[in-house]
Structures are given as structure tokens and as C-alpha cells.
Amino acid sequence: MKIVETYSHLNGLEYLLVHKKKLWFEVLEVIKNIDAEICKTKISKEKTKKGKILYSPIDLNKSYKKLLDDKKWSESRVSYWVTNDAQLIRKTLTLSPDLQKQEIERKGLEPIFSYNQTDFVKDRVAIEIQFGKYSFVAYDLFVKHLAFYVGDQIDVGIEILPMKSLQSQMSAGVAYYEGELYNIVRQGRGVPSVPLVIVGIAP
């Protein structure tokens, strides 16, 4: 596969090129070594594409996972405690999980354990590869990457998406680079408040 487009949000790409160049080149190498054609295995049952052979998100994800695992990118979690008091959440947001729990209990409220998980993290860089529905991208950008950044686990996030040209050869409803770029730009320069690199790929 190849990278067709990249968008640097809050200087995410510039940060990688200056501070984590080796990791950025690992990402480029992984994308280059994905053989998209062997992932064209899904026979469509959709009305408008019935019988067509489409790119399989499951097979594409498996291919990426294997290559990233080989390069020691691994799953990571950020844990935290929540409650029903917005003011208290603002106060505890930047505390360690243990202190969050203690502070919530001290106020006489029930702490509820929660976490965010990302599949690929290495040396304070996170990667999300998204061949799923549109809503999943917003969750990646505004929840996952942001949670890891606020939790001081990463310095930058990378979101890999199909270009429209690839998405049109997949099942309906899959997010694509051009559409998600519009959504990010529409939010304004500082939202989400985490440095990101949005990557558009195609065969």
C-alpha cells in the first residue's frame, strides 16, 4: 500500500520528524509492505455491490497487526476513575488513577473504574488503524488519542484511514480520509487538543 495524503494537526508530523523520525519511518515501511490485494476477500451482499469482491477490513487489520507486532508496537491502556459530578471530574482529570479514586471517595461519591485502550503504542506514539464505521474515528481522535495524551502516555497520535478511492471498494459506512479531514478542519485549529497525523492510504 501507499500513503496518498497526510494532515498534520497541531504539528504532529513535524514533531515526529524532529523527535521520533525512526518511528515515523517504521510506520511508512509497514504501510509500504502491506499487500492490499491479498486482503480483497470479502464477497459483498449489499444491494448496490452484490457479488463484488471487496477489500476486507478484518484482513487488512490482521496484516497491519502482524507487521506492527513484529516491530514491537504493542497494546496499551490508560485507566481512570469517573463519577457523576462534572466539577469533580475537572478537578481529578489530571491526577493519577489512585488519587482520582481517593478524591472521589473523599467527596462521598462512588468512583467508577474506566479505561481507554489502543492497539499500537511505542515510545510515546500511538497508532489507530481505522477501517470501521464513521463514528469509530471520532472516538479514536476525541477519546482514545486525547486520553493517552492527557494521561501523559503519548506525545502524538497517528490515525490511518483509507482514501475514498479505497473506501469505495469496501463495505458501506467505512470512514475515509477526505471525509474525516473535513470533520477535523471544521472543528478549528485547536480541536482535538492533541498533536495528530492523519494518514490516507490506498493500494
Q: What is the pLDDT of residues 12-65, one digit of tens each?
A: 999 999 999 999 999 999 999 999 999 999 999 888 889 999 999 999 999 999
Q: Look at residues 156, 160, 76, 159 and name the one whose alpha carbon lies nearest to residue 124.
A: 156
Q: Give the span between the Cα atoms of 94 and 156, in whole angstroms.
A: 18
Which range has the worst mean pLDDT, 82-91, 98-107, 132-141, 191-200? 132-141
For Cα atoms 185, 169, 156, give the angle at the middle one, nearest 5 degrees. Answer: 35
Q: Give the span between the Cα atoms of 128 and 70, in whole angstroms.
A: 16
Find out whether 161 and 180 touch, Cβ atoms under 8 Å: yes
Output the CATH code of domain 2-74+121-202: 3.40.91.20
Find out whether 52 and 192 touch, Cβ atoms under 8 Å: no
Across residues 60-82, what is the average pLDDT? 95
pLDDT of residue 4: 98
Within 13 Å of residue 150, how many CA atoms lie on the same side as its CB? 21
Set of cell numbers at residue 156: 502524538
